Amino acid sequence: MDAALTLHGYFRSSAAWRVRIALELKGIPYAQTSRHLRRGEQSAPDFLALNRQGLVPALEVEGQGALAQSLAIVEWLEETQPGAKLLPADPWDRARVRALGQIIACEVHPIQNLRVLQYLKRELGQEQPAIDAWARHWIALGLEAFEARLGEKESGRFCHGDVPGLADLCLVPQLGNARRFGLDLAAYPRILAVEAACMALPAFRKSAPEVQPDAE
């Protein structure tokens, strides 16, 4: 990788966590800049100049600009950078892996991320127990579907076969969110087995929120 990479994120952001895992799996060096979401730093003018949505992550590529949206960033890394493959070679298998990843990134995560939960509290007047129940409900629905898909013959030690990829880097951060909201994960033994296999790898441990420079 010739161009320097800077990942703008937040230690607890599951979307930024996905990108950290991808970078670590591929062995790509990168710098990090923290945008504290609870302090509104993602709305600072300098960051909005990189990503008009004001969301993390954003991957700044020296000499090219910045990419937003975690899955778009991961696929760009896959298409342009050497290292571990995050998607299978076969088109059907690639579609399966993308579908698993999108259960998390497109169905579960968007309706339990910070700005949605803040809207429930500030604009709709919901109390914290109701907000947490909302989050648990939608996470559980997604994980039930994910658990069932892991029962397919294409699964192995990881979400697809015996090497980690795009689906795994979506799943593991979401489990961190699930625990934060108090969801009992005992009903998902296949998911927990995949998580254990992932967390045995240095790339997943190095990308975890609690070891990031901005961890609180």
| pLDDT in single tens digits along all 216 residues of the chain | 567 999 999 999 999 999 999 999 999 999 999 999 989 999 999 999 999 999 999 999 999 999 999 999 999 999 999 999 999 999 999 999 999 999 999 999 999 999 999 999 999 999 999 999 999 999 999 999 999 999 999 999 999 999 999 999 999 999 999 999 999 999 999 999 999 999 999 999 999 999 999 988
Do 64 and 103 fall within a single domain?
no
- Euclidean distance between CA atoms 64 and 201, whole angstroms: 31
Residue 117 sits in the same domain as residue 96: yes
Judgement on whether residues 60 and 143 belong to the same structural domain of the protein? no
> Quick one: 68 and 118 in the same domain?
no
Spatial CA neighbour of 18 closest among 29, 9, 30: 9
Q: Which of 45, 65, 84 is the last residue of a domain?
A: 84
Q: Are residue 100 and residue 60 in the same domain, yes or no? A: no
Same domain, 96 and 199: yes
- C-alpha–C-alpha distance, residues 139 and 181, integer Å: 9
Q: Is the previous residue joined to 57 through a cis bond, with omega within 30 degrees of 0?
A: yes
Last residue of a domain, one of 53, 84, 115: 84
Structural tokens at position 147: 């658990």
**Same domain flag for 77 and 96:** no
Kindly report the backbone phi and psi dihedral angles of residue 133, in degrees, each rounded to the nearest multiple of 5, phi listed first: -65, -40
Residue 211 lies in a domain: no
Per the structure, the complete domain to which residue 144 belongs is given by: 91-204
Residue pointed to by tokens 């709709």: 124
- What pLDDT digit, counting tens, does each position of 135-191 carry? 999 999 999 999 999 999 999 999 999 999 999 999 999 999 999 999 999 999 999
Number of domains in the chain: 2
pLDDT of residue 1: 53
76 and 42 in one domain? yes
Task: Verify that 62 and 100 share a domain, yes or no.
Answer: no
Report the pLDDT value the prediction gives residue 216, as an integer from 0 to 100: 81
